[in-house]
Amino acid sequence: MFNGKSIFISGGTGSFGRNFIRRLLEQYQPKRVVVFSRDELKQYEMQQTFNAPCMRYFIGDVRDADRLRQAMRGIDYVVHAAALKQVPAAEYNPTECIRTNVNGAENIIAAAIDNGVKKVVALSTDKAASPINLYGATKLLSDKLFVAANNIAGEQQTRFAVVRYGNVAGSRGSVVPFFSKLIADGAQELPITDERMTRFWITLDHGVQFVLDSFARMHGGEVFVPKIPSIRIVDLARGMAEHLPHKNVGIRPGEKLHELMVPLDDARMTLEFEDHYTIQPSIRFTSVDVDFAVDKLGERGRAVGEDFEYRSDTNPHFLSVGQIADLHAKLSV
């Protein structure tokens, strides 16, 4: 579906953006790929690797509505990956986080509608489900905006959906590079917030493919949640450095013991498919009767039980220490 099409990705110089564009260029022949981000240096460095004739690099901020409209001219598909993501930084700089994550989402929506974009997929996070920190709250607001955007579009055919998943293995700013640096620097122990802590875990490759699949699946208004494994943080530390002891440092402000991707209150709107869950919009925005139980690929889902939750601690699929060690070895290559 991307052959001969123009694709725009906000936050395109990040871990997800680079891997998404690599996959896009390997599997398709896009007409144009627009990388939209704030950092001139990261764009320069990225151009050394991604220099195909179809590549375009726009310096800009999602807070700038006019620049977004300009950059999205002639675009068919949009991936919105730009966000302020660090939980402590968001708590300390709440207004800045809101401007990027919430106002930026509004600007992406308006620019997409104004330019007649076909489909938009916005990346979300497990922290948006029953949020307890500002970052999660802004991403929940962003999710709601993108779902509601299918109504805001009016007679325009632009459709919006959300992809929500957990911690990305090895992404910048995550625990894996943090532990890796400590190990490389000769640390005598690894800091563990709480030995009971669990997290959802997804590789960049899986996340990229899931986003590509979501473009093909979407009617508009869905929140797509992949079925992915969980890890215990203590097992992650063992898998990366079995010889090092651990030091309990306590849960940081704004941090959960376990993460959640489908809250109990969303169970009545949730459908289970073979490899993912779909949270349907609670309010239908068009006069067209959409059957979300059958997606655009013809895949069929079924309703989950009213007591359903998708939590990292009750997830039936956990990675073992050995599997984590193998995954870390692959990431280190």
For residue 139, give the amino acid letter. Answer: K
pLDDT, mean of residues 11-27: 96
The whole-number pLDDT of residue 200 equals: 94
In tens, the pLDDT along 185-206 reads 998 999 999 999 999 999 999 9
In tens, the pLDDT along 45-95 reads 999 999 999 999 999 999 999 999 999 999 999 999 999 999 999 999 999
In tens, the pLDDT along 102-146 reads 999 999 999 999 999 999 999 999 999 999 999 999 999 999 999
For residue 118, give the amino acid letter. Answer: K
pLDDT, mean of residues 12-23: 95
How many CB atoms sit inside 10 A of residue 102's CB?
Answer: 18
Per the residue annotation, which of 85, 119, 127, 256 is the catalytic one? 127
139 catalytic? Reply is: no
For residue 319, give the amino acid letter. Answer: L
In tens, the pLDDT along 85-96 reads 999 999 999 999
Distances (CA, A) of 13 to 41, 160, 217, 288: 10, 22, 26, 38
The whole-number pLDDT of residue 154 equals: 85
Tokens of 25: 């260029």
- Above 60 in pLDDT, residue 333? no
Tell which residue, 8, 64, 54, 46, has the closest CA to residue 28.
54
Task: Report residue 129: phi and psi, to 5°.
Answer: -90, 115
The whole-number pLDDT of residue 254 equals: 86
C-alpha span between 11 and 81 (Å, rounded): 5
What are the DSSP calls for 176-211, one per residue? Answer: HHHHHHHHHTT-SSEEES-TT-EEEEE-HHHHHHHH
Distances (CA, A) of 119 to 80, 94, 175: 11, 30, 32
C-alpha span between 305 and 26 (Å, rounded): 40
Contact residues for 129 (Cβ-Cβ < 8 A; gap 6+): 136, 140, 164, 259, 260, 261, 262, 263, 266
Superfamily of domain 6-332: NAD(P)-binding Rossmann-like Domain (3.40.50.720)
Evaluate if pTM is beyond 0.75: yes
Strand partners, 192: 248
Length of the chain: 333
| Residue pair 307/264 in contact by the 8 Å Cβ criterion | yes
Tokens of 19: 């891997």
In tens, the pLDDT along 237-269 reads 999 998 899 999 998 888 899 999 999 999 999
How many CB atoms sit inside 10 A of residue 33's CB?
Answer: 24
